[in-house]
Structure 1
Amino acid sequence: MSLLSIKNMDVSIGQYSVLHGVTFDVPEGGVFVLLGRNGAGKTTTLRSIMGLWDRPAGSVTFRGEDISSLHTSDIARRGIAFVPENMGIFGGLTVAENMVLATASGKFDDTRLKRVYELFPALEQFWDKQAWSLSGGQKQMLAVARAIIEPRDLILIDEPTKGLAPSIISAMGEAFREISETTTILLVEQNFAFAKSLGRDMAVIDDGQVVHTGAMADFAADTALQDRLLSLSMEGA
C-alpha cells in the first residue's frame, strides 16, 4: 500500500515544461530517496506535491485521497510537511518563536518537544537565540524540528546536507533514522553516501522524467547503473 502516489504529473513554469509524466509510489515507513542530476526536476517534484506549482496534468494521491487540487495549506493539514532547500526559517525570530509558528495551536505538546530536544540538543541550548545567529547545521536542525513538532505522516526534505560539515551530516542521519521509524520521509539528496545509508526505496529523475525506481540497496550495489542514469559513479561519494 502506497502512502503517496504520483501519476503522470506534468509541471510547467512559465513557458518551460519541467516535469513530464512523473510517476512513482512512496510506500509507508522509512526513507524514500529521489535522486538525479542538478536541474533534473527533483525540487520541482517536491514543490508540486505540496501544491506550490500548478499541475496541469496527472494526480497526487495521499492515503487514497486525491490531493491534486488542494491548496498548500490544506495539503499540510493532511499531515504532510515540507523542509525546503532554503530551510524556510525566520532569522529575525528566536528558535522558540520559529517553533511556535509551526504549531497549529501556538502551544507545544510536551512529549513532542522533548523528542525534538533529544534529536537536536542544540535547539534547547539556543532556544531563546535569534535564528540568524545559528550555524548552518543548527538552522537545518531547526527547519527539520519545525516539521516534526506536530504529528506528520510524511515529510518532504530537500537537500538537507548541502554545505554542512561531516559531523553535522552524521548527526542529521541519526536523527532521520529515528524520525523515519514513525514518519515517512521523502528525501532529495545529492550526497549519495548519506542517501544510501538511509534510503529503503528510491527513484531517479532525469530531464523531468522518472527513469528508474527500485530498492536503494540494489541501486547502491550497481555502479554501472549509477553511471548510466547519473553520468557518474557515486560509489563512496
Structure 2
Amino acid sequence: MSLLSVQDMKTDIGQYAVLHGVSFEVPEGGVFVLLGRNGAGKTTTLRSIMGLWTPSPGSVVFNGQDITRMHTADIARKGIAYVPENMGIFGTLTVDENLILATESGRFDKARLARIHELFPALERFRDKQAWSLSGGQKQMLSVARAIIEPRALILIDEPTKGLAPSIVGAMAEAFREIAQTTTILLVEQNFNFARSLGRDMAVIDDGRVVHAGSMEAFAADTALQDKHLGLSA
C-alpha cells in the first residue's frame, strides 16, 4: 500500500483551473520527487495535499485514510508536515523559539533536538539568534527542522535549494538522505542534479497533469525524456 495516494486531483484557484486531474502514488520510505517547469502545478499539488486549497473533485488518501477535505491542522496531526517555498519561519523569533512553536507540547524532546543539531549544526550555534539574521541556507535548515521537530510520517518540501550556494545544497542533500531513513519525503525541486541524487521514484507535472511517472534511475538515464518534459538542454 502506498503511503500517499493522489487520484484525479483537480484544483481551481479563483477563476483559474490549475490542476486538471493529477494522480500519483508515493511509496513509504525514501524520497519521491515531483518535477516540472515553472507554473506546471507542483506547488499547487503540495498545497492541495496539505488542505491549504481544496481539490474538487479528486481524492488524497494518506496511510489508508481519506484526508481530501480535512482542515490543514487536522492533516498535520495525522503526521504530515509542510515546508513551503517561502520557508514559513518567524523572523523576529529565535531559532529555538521557532522550533518550540512547531512542537505540540511547547517543549523540546531532547533526543529529537539533538538529532536536529546533528543534521544542522548551525542551528545549535545560533539557537539564540533571531531567525531574520540567519543566512538563506540557515533559514532553510530551520524550516526543515521545524517540520521534523515532531515525529512525522511524511514531509512535503517545496524547492528547498532555490537561491542557495552549492556548498549549502550539498549539505542539504546529506541531511535529506538522513531524514529519509525514517521519514518519507515528497520533494518539489527544479534543481535536477539535486533531485536525481536523492529521488527513488518520481513524477513530472506539466500543465496541471502528471505526464510521466516512474523510477528516478530510469528517468535520469534517459536524456531525451528529460528534454521532452523538462527542457534541460535549454
TM value normalised by structure 1: 0.98
Q: Alignment length, in residue pairs?
A: 234
Q: CA deviation at 1:231?
A: 2.4
Give the Cα–Cα distance (whole angstroms) in 1 for the partners of residues 56 and 69 of structure 2: 10
Any idea what the Cα deviations from partners look like across 1:181-214, whole Å, max 9, x if unmatched? 0000000001000000000000000000000000
Give the Cα–Cα distance (whole angstroms) in 2 for the partners of residues 177 and 23 of structure 1: 25
The 4+ residue runs of structure 1 with deviation greater than 3 A are: none
Query: Partner amino acid for 2:129?
Result: K
Number of the residue aligned with 1:196: 196
Q: Does 1:220 align with 2:217?
A: no
Q: CA deviation at 1:39?
A: 0.2
Q: Secondary structure at the match of 1:204?
A: strand
Number of the residue aligned with 2:144: 144
Give the Cα–Cα distance (whole angstroms) in 2 for the partners of residues 85 and 209 of structure 1: 21
Q: Secondary structure at the match of 1:115?
A: helix
What are the within-5 Å matches in structure 2 for residues 162-201 of structure 1? 162-201=162-201
Q: Secondary structure at the match of 1:225?
A: helix
Q: Which runs of 5+ in 1 are unaligned?
A: none
The answer to whether the 8 A contact 2:54-2:68 is kept is no
Q: Secondary structure at the match of 2:228?
A: helix
Q: CA deviation at 1:233?
A: 3.2
Q: Secondary structure at the match of 1:6?
A: strand
Any idea what the Cα deviations from partners look like across 1:4-59, whole Å, max 9, x if unmatched? 00000000001100001100000000000000000000000000000001211100
Number of the residue aligned with 1:157: 157
The answer to whether the 8 A contact 2:51-2:72 is kept is yes
Number of the residue aligned with 1:85: 85
Number of the residue aligned with 2:53: 53
CA RMSD of aligned residues (A): 0.8
Any idea what the Cα deviations from partners look like across 1:132-159, whole Å, max 9, x if unmatched? 0000000000000000010000000000
Q: Does 1:24 align with 2:24?
A: yes
Q: Secondary structure at the match of 1:203?
A: strand
Percent identity of equivalent pairs: 77
Q: Secondary structure at the match of 1:92?
A: coil
Q: Secondary structure at the match of 2:197?
A: helix
TM value normalised by structure 2: 0.99
Give the Cα–Cα distance (whole angstroms) in 1 for the partners of residues 217 and 153 of structure 2: 24
Q: CA deviation at 1:232?
A: 2.7
Number of the residue aligned with 2:73: 73
Q: Secondary structure at the match of 1:24?
A: strand
Q: CA deviation at 1:62?
A: 0.3
Give the Cα–Cα distance (whole angstroms) in 1 for the partners of residues 186 and 44 of structure 2: 13
Any idea what the Cα deviations from partners look like across 1:90-114, whole Å, max 9, x if unmatched? 0000001100000000011111000
Number of the residue aligned with 1:96: 96
Give the Cα–Cα distance (whole angstroms) in 2 for the partners of residues 19 and 186 of structure 1: 18
